[in-house]
């Protein structure tokens, strides 16, 4: 069975687990714009174990998903004792790039202001995201042009974790990714201006790239391209190859948060890396 078919067949089990998640933490919703998708959710754990705060951008092919849909991620992170913020953004194909990265930058700035206003230490931020969220968050973290344009200060970000990110727009991308990119960008737009590997600059932010060789949607080489460019620039990068049996795109990018660290090695790697950084 090929990996794309495995990806499609995995959805039933993933959705079944999503609906079984118990909501122990009620997030605070904060709007940063007029559009219904321009908001973020803030989660406070019942027992905070760390001064590190995880700021996360959801995936969904740039055309689907929102922070409420991925509530199970916030529940999982809070169970581990971390404060968590989930950023929303306007979606394609109605809204074309760079709308999405502008929203992520504005949402991040708004989230940092919110944390400061509520008396939280914002000196140790972990920026993270799966799939399309990894694409967007990696651009914010590593592109000085984007940060300058949208007035983003990333000096307080101490690490980036991307899972299943389309960091390079390779010619051998899957048909699904080509269709999603066609929805994301206007016809004639220079896609190099939205390609993380092309935008990356020298950075103090170490990165963990979690990628599967059996993704089904995103080629493993996308992470290899990004890691290679990072090392050329002298940026600290660790590329982790998923070893779990549930290694299809949706499972290891977001579905891993439906399991425990004992059940899922990718999830354990996610939190272990944060603990050690």
Domain boundaries, given as residue ranges, for the chain? 3-276
What pLDDT sits at residue 185? 98
What pLDDT sits at residue 1? 60
CA–CA separation, 77 and 53 (whole Å):
10
Torsion on CA atoms 30, 132, 82, 36, rounded to nearest 10? 10
Order of strands across the sheet that contains 28-31: 28-31, 39-43, 83-87, 53-57, 125-130, 157-163, 207-211, 237-241
112: cis peptide before it, omega within 30°?
no
Top-level CATH class of 3-276?
A: alpha beta
Q: Which of 185, 129, 187, 128 lies closest to 158 in space, CA to CA?
A: 128
Per-position DSSP letters for 33-98, written without gaps between them:
SSSTT-EEEEE--SS---S-EEEEE--STTTS--TTTTHHHHHHHHHTT-EEEEE----TTTS-TT
Return the residue matching tokens 């051998």. 172
CA–CA separation, 249 and 226 (whole Å):
18
5 CA to centre of own chain: 24
DSSP 176: H
Mean pLDDT in runs of 10 for the chain (277 residues)? 80 85 96 98 94 97 98 98 98 98 98 98 98 98 98 98 97 90 97 98 98 94 98 98 96 96 98 97
What pLDDT sits at residue 81? 97
Strand partners, 39: 31
What pLDDT sits at residue 198? 98
Contact 132, 60 (CB under 8 A): yes
What's the full length of the chain, in residues?
Answer: 277
What pLDDT sits at residue 146? 98
Report the predicted TM-score, pTM, of the whole model to 2 decimal places.
0.97
């Amino acid at each position: 069975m090929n990996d794309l078919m495995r990806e499609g067949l995995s959805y039933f089990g993933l959705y079944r687990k999503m609906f079984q998640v118990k909501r122990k933490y009620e997030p605070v919703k904060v709007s940063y714009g007029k559009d219904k998708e321009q908001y973020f959710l803030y989660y406070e754990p019942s027992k905070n174990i760390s001064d590190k705060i995880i700021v996360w951008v959801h995936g969904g092919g740039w055309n689907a998903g929102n922070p409420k849909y991925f509530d199970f991620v916030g529940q999982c992170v809070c169970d581990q004792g971390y404060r968590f913020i989930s950023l929303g953004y306007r979606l394609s194909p109605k809204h074309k790039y760079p709308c999405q990265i502008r929203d992520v930058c504005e949402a991040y700035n708004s989230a940092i202001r919110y944390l400061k206003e509520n008396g939280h230490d914002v000196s140790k931020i972990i920026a993270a995201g799966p799939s399309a969220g990894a694409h967007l968050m990696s651009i914010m973290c590593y592109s000085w042009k984007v940060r300058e344009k949208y007035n983003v200060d990333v000096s307080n970000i101490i690490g980036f974790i991307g899972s299943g990110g389309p960091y390079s727009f390779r010619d051998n991308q899957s048909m699904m990714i080509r269709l999603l990119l066609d929805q994301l960008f206007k016809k004639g737009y220079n896609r190099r201006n939205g390609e993380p590997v092309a935008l990356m600059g020298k950075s103090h932010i170490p990165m963990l790239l979690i990628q599967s060789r059996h993704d089904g949607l995103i080629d493993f080489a996308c992470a290899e391209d990004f890691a290679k460019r990072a090392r050329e620039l002298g940026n600290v990068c660790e590329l982790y190859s998923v070893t779990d049996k549930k290694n299809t795109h949706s499972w290891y990018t977001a579905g891993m948060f439906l399991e425990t660290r004992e059940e899922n090695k990718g999830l354990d790697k996610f939190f272990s890396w944060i603990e050690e950084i």
